[in-house]
A = this chain, B = another copy of it.
Amino acid sequence: MSRPQQVQLSHGGGGREMNEFIHEIFFRRFENPFLKAEDAATLTLNGQVAMTTDSFTVEPLFFAGGNIGSLAIAGTTNDLAMVAAQPKYLTCSFILEEGFAFSELEKIVDTMAQEIVPTGAVIVCGDTKVVPKGCADKVFINTTGVGEILLPNVSASQLQVGDVLLVSRDIGRHGACVLAARESLRLESEIESDCATLWPVVNQLLSSGITPHAMRDATRGGLAAVLNEWCQSSNVQMRLQEQAIPVDAAVKGVCELFGFEPYDLANEGTFIIAVPAEQATMTLDVLQRFQPQAAIIGEVVAGSPAKPVLCSPWGSKRYLDFPVGELLPRIC
């Protein structure tokens, strides 16, 4: 039996075609006891709950190390993990452009079904809209998630003077990877996005008794945006050792070529963590089990203005500013 090779307007119309389409494309891949043909899913949640949402519009849809589907799963479950919440239930909502290839959509949904496994979460309900050709660019995905908070008050406002700051791996990969893909750069070694779910490493940290004051994945705005927001929220300064911040040589190369700072580039599976000084070694140890490039990059200090300060190996200092301007549109 023939079936269409491209998304049609009727796949979002609410009639028989939509019904068949969502069963064929989504239900089959995301199957779990919560996912039913109802308007809302019925769940159980205990204690304090975290909730987060993200829409994904990345261009290109497929890049080295992932695609919009892995991004949609990692992005939302990471936001839960960053407040020490165990991801439990996700919704996913697709806006599809008429004419989008089934083969690409199926690849994306297959990826989502794989990527969600290590997060421990399940997709409990969804929504599909189809817009006429030219009204959207191929596919946009929203994922929204809820999780159970295992450790309360992990927050941008909880930094304490004396806290040690660590980064979970080398920075700037996702931004550099998407930039290279768009510019069709031929690099000696392809830059892979860091796109990954962070729940396994966060789970390990919490199980090891680490009590982070703050965690944040350094997505849009990169390390620079996270550290500036933290300084503002907790009204503290930071002292960062520039040479301690891991950046891959290929990422540095792309930055030099396009005039970006690696600190401003987006990451999609890299986080900053602030812990009490006495937990710094153990935190580093756990982080390095997952990514050997994890590093201690600085500490929280008293001072004003409430901004991060970058210290160079030769003793000079400068403020690390909030990124300004267009940066990269459609990075996630």
Contacts and interface: CB of A to CB of B under 8 A. Distances in A.
A124 interface: yes
A57 B137 contact: no
A259 interface: no
Number of copies: 2
A279 interface: no
A264 B44 CA distance: 35
A197 interface: no
A45 interface: yes
Contacts of A94: 55
A39 interface: yes
Interface string A303-332: 000000000000000000011111111101
Contact of A325 (B15, B82, B136): B15
Contact of A15 (B13, B50, B137, B225): B225
Nearest to A327: B13
Given A42-B48, A45-B45, A136-B140, A16 B53 contact: no
Contact of A127 (B10, B55, B131, B132): B55
Nearest to A149: B42
- The number of chain A residues touching the other chain, given as a range, is 35 or more
Interface of A: 8-10, 12-19, 37-45, 47-57, 59, 79-80, 82-83, 85, 89, 91-95, 98, 124-127, 129-132, 134-137, 140, 142, 144, 146-147, 149, 152, 155-156, 216-217, 219-222, 225, 229, 233, 264, 266, 322-330, 332
Given A15-B322, A137-B131, A326-B9, A39 B83 contact: yes
10 contacts: A10-B324, A10-B325, A14-B327, A15-B220, A15-B325, A17-B324, A17-B325, A43-B49, A45-B45, A91-B144
Contact of A129 (B18, B55, B146): B55
A129 B57 contact: yes
Nearest to A130: B329
Most buried by B among A18, A45, A134: A45
A18 B327 CA distance: 11
Contacts of A264: 15
Contacts of A43: 48-51
A92 B328 CA distance: 23
Contact of A124 (B51, B56, B98, B229): B51
Contact of A40 (B82, B233, B329): B82
Contacts of A142: 53, 55, 93, 142, 144
Contacts of A322: 15-16, 19
Nearest to A132: B329
A41 B48 contact: no
A220 B22 CA distance: 14
Given A39-B52, A40-B80, A42-B50, 18 more contacts: A9-B329, A13-B323, A14-B266, A15-B325, A16-B322, A19-B229, A37-B156, A40-B79, A40-B147, A43-B49, A44-B49, A53-B126, A53-B142, A55-B93, A57-B95, A91-B144, A131-B329, A144-B144
